[in-house]
Amino acid sequence: MQMYSSPSSPFARKARVTAHELGLDARITLINISLSPVNPHQELRAHNPLGKLPALITDTGETLYDSPVICEYLDALAGGGRIFPASGPARWTALRRQALADGLTDATVLVRYETAARPTTLQWQQWIEGQFLKVRTALDALETEDLGGAFDIGAISVACALGYLDFRFPEERWRETRPRLAAWHAALSERPSLASSRPS
Ligand code: BEZ
């Protein structure tokens, strides 16, 4: 298999962490690219019309996107039920946490694009604050959750969302008001799948 990825993409990291956890990383050749919101990557677009990372080309030649689909595909390839709980309340909790963490990451990426790619005179402060509000309320919600337990797709998504926030916006200092979430993240950070995929 081949996967379009980037060392700084939080969603590509989700897929790489999932592959590592399932022992499938050696079967995936990474195609590392650099993306810009204003400069479409033609080669990636030929595989994923949305031009987004990650995109996985399976051994049968089909391209899968985006990260929730790729992660669930990898889980099925490894026998199923390891990263995505097969059924019951654990499944819905893991999927909801994935949605919450991916939404947090989406908002963070939008602010990154607005502040790093947009000319300063065109930047819209109220819109940036609106995105940061989503980030902060999602963090507050995660602080109330009991994240201990299985390292499933919910936990992987949250860990990658926090890693990206630290990478692009260290000045946010989210830990100061969310000690439980900070302790959970610190305890996980040396896990090989996360330690070997830190954004750079
Ligand atoms: C980033 O470098 O911040 C980034 C890269 C790919 C996708 C999203 C964000």
CA of 10 to the centre of ligand 1 (A): 7
CA of 165 to the centre of ligand 1 (A): 11
Kindly list the structural domains of the chain, giving each domain's residue range(s) and its CATH number in brackets, ordered by start.
2-77 (3.40.30.10), 88-195 (1.20.1050.10)
pLDDT, one tens digit per residue, over 146-192 is 999 999 999 999 999 999 999 999 999 999 999 999 999 999 999 99
pLDDT, one tens digit per residue, over 109-159 is 999 999 999 999 999 999 999 999 999 999 999 999 999 999 999 999 999
Nearest CA to ligand 1 atom 4: 9
Distance of alpha carbon 158 from alpha carbon 102, whole angstroms: 8
How much is the pTM? 0.97
Residues with CB under 6 A from ligand 1: 6, 8-9, 35, 53, 109, 112, 168
pLDDT, one tens digit per residue, over 5-20 is 999 999 999 999 999 9
Neighbours of 173 (CB within 10 A): 9
Residue type, 108: T
CA of 107 to the centre of ligand 1 (A): 12
Distance of alpha carbon 183 from alpha carbon 181, whole angstroms: 5
Which of 112, 169, 197, 200 most suits a substitution to test ligand 1, by most atoms within 8 Å of the C-beta? Answer: 112
**How does residue 195 score in pLDDT terms, banded at 50, 70 and 90?**
very high
Which of 3, 6, 110, 198 most suits a substitution to test ligand 1, by most atoms within 8 Å of the C-beta? Answer: 6
**If you search the block for the tokens 């602010």, which residue do you land on?**
111
Average pLDDT, the chain: 97
